[in-house]
Structure 1
Amino acid sequence: MKAMTYRGPYKIRVEEKPDPTIQHPNDAIVRVTRAAVCGSDLHLFHGMMPDTRIGHTFGHEIVGVVEVGSSVETLRPGDRVMVPFNIYCGSCYFCRRGLFSNCHNVNPNATAVGGIHGYSHTTGGYDGGQAERVRVPFADVGPSVIPEWLASEDALLLTDAFSTGYFGAQQGDIAEGDTVVVFGAGPVGLAAARSAWFLGAGRVIVVDHLDYRLEKARQFAFAETMHLHEVGDIVLALKKATGYLGADVVIDAVGAEADGSVVQHVTGAKLKLQGGSPVALNWAIDSARKGGTVSILGAYGPLVTSVRLGDIINKGLTVRGNQAPVKRQWPRLLEHIQAGHIRPSELLTHRFPLEHIAEAYHVFSSKLDDCIKPLIVVGEE
């Protein structure tokens, strides 16, 4: 089969790889029809995440058609399915509590995180779906048949980006009338901003440094916006905008690659001595009011230094973060889609065939052509 493969930082190509095989009776093989490039894929692409091995296939946003699953009971060959980025067993201590992203049985490094499709050996070493076929473990509990009324490209955004954004808003415990600030107007930040309204926000402010993404925040998320480079001190600007109290809820949808100091860039991106720059997280901490909540959606490596722990303690902040338990968000999001409240595929701005996926990474990573999120067309539906 054809598959995207990692050849080192900033180097990917499409190669022929062996087709995936059934390794356990509850596996399924899914023929991929649509995939996407996620902002967290860029952390892998840039060499930010540990134990990303040569030859690994990325891609954790996947829809496709079931080809085979020997003892799978919930799916049949020919079913059109959406595959959550989480790989989980459905029966361990954490899965029984709905913490699918923290499954204890799918990753040798499970003390830190569960399994994720196509996200390095830190998350289990599973090949991802930027390929013609993908092995899906625990197929009875992860993937779901796509409702007939749901377009595949809307389903694709539920496999990570929109579900993660919705989860980030949930983590904020937004109360009626709260002011919510979102750092980062990428797909996940835009989804979080839009979702904040569903959970009762009275005001939503999105911060970014790119005009076209801020315009998308105004159009898609109905948010106020602040341009990072036009307001001077962003924390002071947000304090002024909130009566010098700070926001009730702040969502960090930026993560490891926020622009930081030269030292942070060298130690994080080059030497990998920390999990990226904590600058966006520190802005979130400083922008929250005393007693407020910080919700972390941005992806970080295992070590992030220079986080303002003293400010968290002294301000009495609640800080919450996790990989989103994607499937838990689907029932409510499907209701919103069916009611016409949201159309997640509006976040997709570019389409590339699998053969041109290197160009997709280049355009997305370099913020070219007003790219919000690239779709990868893999096969016929």
Structure 2
Amino acid sequence: MRAVVWKGPGKVSVDEVQDPRVERATDVVVRITTAGICGSDLHMYEGRTAAQPGVVMGHENMGVIEEVGSAVQQLRKGDRVVLPFNVSCGTCFNCTRGYTSACLVANDDAAGAAYGYVGMGPYKGGQAELLRVPWGEANCIKLPGTPGDELEDDFLLLSDIFPTGYHAAQMANVQPGSTVAVFGAGPVGLLAAYSAMLRGAAEVYVVDAIPERLKKAEQIGAIAVDFRKGPPAEQIRNLRLQNPLVRGAMRRGEEKMAGVMCGIDAVGYQAKDFADPSQEDHTSVTEQLAEVVNPTGALGIIGVFLPQDPGGKGQAAKHGEYQLPWGKLWEKGVQLGMGQTPVKHYSLVLRDLIIAGRAKPSFIVSRHIPLADAPDAYQKFDRREPGYTKVLIRPAEQVATPL
């Protein structure tokens, strides 16, 4: 079969690789109809992980079951499924408590596994024509409809970034009426903002500097904050205080709560220096969130931080060690959540919101491409070029279709 293979920093190619097969009785093999290119893939693409050449890429996958193992009872050939990016056994101590992101069985080297990602077990990715899915009944979410229908893009986003955005909102304790600041208007940040609105947030601020992404944020009802115009925390606080309704509702002393109650980091360890966006500042987002989140607020860190970053500034950063404003966070009593999303915990609820027409996460999708165009798409996505906010691969198609 054909698959997208990482060759080294800044280079992927579409190669012929061995077809997957049923290796254990609990496996299924899925013919991929759509796979996403994720911002997390760029960490490997850029050489910012410990990955070795030869990785078959892709952890955002959906398709139709081609083959089932002899022990699989609840799935059959022809079923349409989406695959949470977490590979999980479904029965270990963590999986049975809902923490499929920290499965103790699927990866010999750590708690947690995934398709096509460094350090996440031996599983090939799904930016390919076929994919082996271990523990098929635990790792397949059944879908209605037919491949390529009007819900294809929405369902694909259940593999990772829609549940990830929702998980960020939950970690940040977003409730009806909450005020929220999301740093990063990439796909995850936009879906974190969207999820905050689904959960009833009153005000959602989205921080970025890419006009196309800020415009998307405004289109879903968020307030765009361009960090090129000044420190984001200060901008958000000023916007709130300049609103006569917000200011007029404050009693004495409540101007101390002119920030937001909920903060989300959807950027991670490749954050920009807000004063000079051509440079990285690994902790800039955390520092701004520590400023803008109110006392007794909550912070959800969904942006990726890895223990090994060959491109980090200084030896500490290369080993995932950062100086953070813990004193300020502690003084404010900020609740803090972080880590990978247990996708399956949210998949069924979010799937049913899509089916009911209450959620349409595919607003972020900007382009469909055939498998052969993946190397070009990676390059343009990495450069944040217009039209490459969220790219989906359709292996069976031959021609790209911009939206």
Same fold (TM over 0.5): yes
- Which residue of structure 1 lines up, in the alignment, with residue 375 of structure 2? 358
Measured after TM superposition, the shift of residue 242 of structure 1 is 4.0
**Aligned counterparts of 2:196 and 2:178: Cα–Cα separation in 1:** 9
- Which residue of structure 2 lines up, in the alignment, with residue 227 of structure 1? 226
Q: Which runs of 5+ in 1 are unaligned?
A: 269-275
**Aligned counterparts of 2:383 and 2:301: Cα–Cα separation in 1:** 24
**Aligned counterparts of 2:218 and 2:225: Cα–Cα separation in 1:** 11
- Which residue of structure 2 lines up, in the alignment, with residue 273 of structure 1? none
- Which residue of structure 2 lines up, in the alignment, with residue 87 of structure 1? 87
SS in 2 for 1:294: strand
Q: Report matched runs for 1:304-323 at 5 Å.
A: 304-323=321-340
Measured after TM superposition, the shift of residue 23 of structure 1 is 2.5
Q: Is the CA contact (8 Å cut-off) linking 2:367 and 2:387 kept in structure 1?
A: no
Q: Is the CA contact (8 Å cut-off) linking 1:278 and 1:304 kept in structure 2?
A: no
Measured after TM superposition, the shift of residue 328 of structure 1 is 1.6
TM-score (normalised: structure 1): 0.91
- Which residue of structure 2 lines up, in the alignment, with residue 141 of structure 1? 138
Q: Is the CA contact (8 Å cut-off) linking 1:336 and 1:342 kept in structure 2?
A: yes
Counterpart among 242, 256, 266 of residue 269 in structure 2: 256
The one-character-per-residue Cα deviations of 1:218-272 (angstroms, maximum 9, x if unpaired) are 11x3101111102x1222222323445321000111112211499xx99x9xxxx
- Which residue of structure 2 lines up, in the alignment, with residue 69 of structure 1? 68
Q: Is the CA contact (8 Å cut-off) linking 1:294 and 1:320 kept in structure 2?
A: yes
Q: Is the CA contact (8 Å cut-off) linking 2:298 and 2:335 kept in structure 1?
A: yes
1:298 paired to 2:315: no
Q: Which runs of 5+ in 2 are unaligned?
A: 242-255, 308-319, 398-403
**Aligned counterparts of 1:278 and 1:301: Cα–Cα separation in 2:** 13
Q: Report matched runs for 1:124-163 at 5 Å.
A: 124-148=121-145, 151-163=151-163
**Aligned counterparts of 1:282 and 1:14: Cα–Cα separation in 2:** 40
- Which residue of structure 1 lines up, in the alignment, with residue 2 of structure 2? 2
The one-character-per-residue Cα deviations of 1:90-130 (angstroms, maximum 9, x if unpaired) are 111111111111111111232xx40011111x111311001
* Number of matched pairs: 365
**Aligned counterparts of 2:356 and 2:140: Cα–Cα separation in 1:** 23
Q: Is the CA contact (8 Å cut-off) linking 2:265 and 2:301 kept in structure 1?
A: yes
**Aligned counterparts of 1:281 and 1:57: Cα–Cα separation in 2:** 32
The one-character-per-residue Cα deviations of 1:271-299 (angstroms, maximum 9, x if unpaired) are xxxxx823222222222111211101111
Q: Is the CA contact (8 Å cut-off) linking 1:277 and 1:304 kept in structure 2?
A: no
- Which residue of structure 1 lines up, in the alignment, with residue 384 of structure 2? 367
**Aligned counterparts of 1:261 and 1:342: Cα–Cα separation in 2:** 33
**Aligned counterparts of 1:307 and 1:11: Cα–Cα separation in 2:** 33
TM-score (normalised: structure 2): 0.86
Measured after TM superposition, the shift of residue 350 of structure 1 is 1.0
- Which residue of structure 1 lines up, in the alignment, with residue 349 of structure 2? 332
Q: Is the CA contact (8 Å cut-off) linking 1:58 and 1:118 kept in structure 2?
A: yes
**Aligned counterparts of 2:345 and 2:190: Cα–Cα separation in 1:** 20
The 4+ residue runs of structure 1 with deviation greater than 4 A are none
- Which residue of structure 2 lines up, in the alignment, with residue 13 of structure 1? 13
Q: Is the CA contact (8 Å cut-off) linking 1:48 and 1:301 kept in structure 2?
A: no
**Aligned counterparts of 2:274 and 2:10: Cα–Cα separation in 1:** 21
* CA RMSD of superposed structures (Å): 2.1
- Which residue of structure 1 lines up, in the alignment, with residue 165 of structure 2? 165
SS in 2 for 1:229: helix
The one-character-per-residue Cα deviations of 1:12-60 (angstroms, maximum 9, x if unpaired) are 111111112323211111111110100111111111122x121101101
- Which residue of structure 2 lines up, in the alignment, with residue 272 of structure 1? none
The one-character-per-residue Cα deviations of 1:195-234 (angstroms, maximum 9, x if unpaired) are 1122221111111111110100111x3101111102x122
SS in 2 for 1:86: coil
Please say which structure displays the higher CA radius of gyration.
Answer: 2
Larger CA deviation: 138-147 vs 168-177 = 168-177
**Aligned counterparts of 1:40 and 1:304: Cα–Cα separation in 2:** 19
